[in-house]
């Protein structure tokens, strides 16, 4: 598999939508629009240019587009039980399923005006200028209305917002670490957020924040409070059980 240098999507090298041979290297693209942006913006002469500076959230060329900086919402995803999936359908088939899922996540990040920073193992890291689109993206990732998916993979998601350090189109600092740690405390199918993130906005229609709980997160002193973002029905059911 290859990565489209414009939009960060993964492309099957055997069936790319388009290719370009530039300076002794073959580039693979998920769509003709990405190839056009690549050539028009001269990316082949600067192949390491950050993808976020090449196209906007709709895939249109946008050389001046800047990646989110300052106070940013960081989103991490992770597909659980990938080893079990390999045992069930074999390594090659599992890899194809995983790449399809990660490609779907990256498309949703782009659709919600986010920046897909990179792939990390069985998940992705993304950054958003505002918390609302980040949460909407997380909800869409967890929605199981995709008829093209034979089996819903158990994805866990973590969200946290705050100041970040940006270097070479990547993100560093306590906000990034916190988001990753929160994702690690979520179960498959869950969206977990920090209490600070929860204070920034209301959840999308049909979803709500569950009760907060105290957890210890590696690298952070004391207790931290996190919440899950639940479908309205699940939240009502949980509250009825508490009564």
Higher-pLDDT residue of 118 and 65 is: 118
Give the range of the structural domain holding residue 172, as residue numbers without chain letter.
Answer: 71-242
With 60 as the cut, is the pLDDT of residue 59 above it?
no
Domains held by the chain: number: 2
Per-residue pLDDT, averaged over 120-138, amounts to 92
Spatial distance between the Cα atoms of 173 and 178, rounded to a whole number of angstroms: 9
This prediction has a pTM of 0.71
Q: What pLDDT sits at residue 149?
A: 45
The verdict on 98 and 45 lying in the same domain is no
Name the average pLDDT for the chain: 79
Tell whether 144 and 97 lie within a shared domain: yes
- Decide if 204 contacts 139 (C-beta within 8 A): yes
Same domain? 167 vs 228: yes
Instruction: Please tell me the distance from the alpha carbon of residue 106 to that of residue 238, in angstroms, as a whole number.
Output: 31
pLDDT surpasses 90 at 131: yes
Residue range 156-205, pLDDT digits in tens: 999 999 999 998 778 999 999 999 999 999 999 999 999 999 999 998 88
**Length of the chain in terms of residues written:** 243
The dihedral built from the CA positions of residue 7, 187, 219 and 195, taken in this order, carries a sign that is positive
| Band of residue 90 on the pLDDT scale cut at 50, 70, 90 | confident
Say what the pLDDT of residue 201 is: 94
Whether 128 is in a domain gets the answer yes
Q: What are the two backbone dihedrals, phi and then psi, of residue 213, each rounded to the nearest 5 degrees?
A: -140, 150
**Residue 55: its pLDDT value, please?**
44
CATH number at residue 203: 3.30.70.1230
pLDDT band at 61 (very low <50, low <70, confident <90, very high): very low
Return the H-helix or E-strand segment holding 83.
helix 82-89
Spatial separation of the C-alpha atoms in residues 176 and 179, rounded to whole Å: 5
Q: What is the pLDDT of residue 22?
A: 79
Q: Please indicate, yes or no, whether residues 45 and 117 belong to a single structural domain of this protein.
A: no
What's the pLDDT at 54?
42
Write 36-39 long-range contacts (CB < 8 A, 24+). Answer: 36/61, 37/6, 37/61, 38/5, 38/6
> Is 80 found in the same domain as 9?
no
Q: Please name the helix (run of DSSP H) or strand (run of DSSP E) that holds residue 178, with its range, or none.
A: helix 174-184
Q: Are residues 101 and 27 in the same domain?
A: no
Same domain, 120 and 41: no
Q: What is the pLDDT of residue 66?
A: 54
- What is the pLDDT, as a whole number, of residue 45? 53
Same-domain check for residues 6 and 114: no
Q: Do 97 and 26 share a structural domain? A: no
Residues 82 and 39 in one domain: no
pLDDT at position 168: 79
Q: Are 224 and 215 in contact (CB under 8 A)?
A: yes
What residues have CB less than 8 Å from 124, skipping those under 6 apart? 76, 77, 102, 105, 106, 109, 116, 117, 118
Asked if 79 and 157 sit in the same domain, the reply is yes
How far, in Å, CA of 66 to CA of 69, rounded?
8
């Amino acid at each position: 598999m290859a990565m489209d240098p414009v939009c960060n999507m993964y492309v099957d090298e055997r069936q790319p939508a388009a290719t370009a041979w530039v300076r002794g290297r073959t580039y693979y693209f998920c769509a003709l629009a990405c190839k056009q942006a690549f050539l028009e913006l001269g990316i082949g002469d600067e192949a390491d240019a950050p993808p976020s500076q090449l196209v906007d959230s709709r895939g249109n060329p946008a050389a001046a587009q800047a990646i989110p900086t300052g106070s940013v919402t960081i989103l991490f995803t992770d597909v659980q039980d990938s080893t079990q999936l390999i045992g069930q359908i074999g390594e090659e088939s599992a890899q194809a399923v995983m790449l399809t899922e990660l490609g779907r996540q990256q498309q949703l990040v782009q659709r919600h005006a986010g920046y897909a920073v990179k792939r990390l193992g069985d998940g992705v890291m993304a950054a958003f200028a505002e918390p609302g689109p980040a949460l909407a993206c997380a909800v869409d990732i967890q929605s199981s209305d995709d008829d093209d998916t034979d089996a819903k993979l158990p994805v866990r998601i973590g969200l946290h917002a705050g100041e970040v350090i940006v270097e070479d189109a990547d993100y560093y600092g306590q906000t990034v670490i916190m988001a990753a740690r929160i994702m690690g405390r979520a179960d498959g199918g869950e969206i977990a957020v920090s209490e600070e993130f929860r204070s920034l906005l209301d959840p999308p229609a049909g979803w709500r924040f569950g009760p907060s709980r105290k957890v210890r997160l590696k690298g952070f002193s004391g207790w931290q409070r996190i919440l899950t973002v639940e479908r309205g029905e699940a939240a009502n059911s949980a509250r009825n059980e508490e009564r």
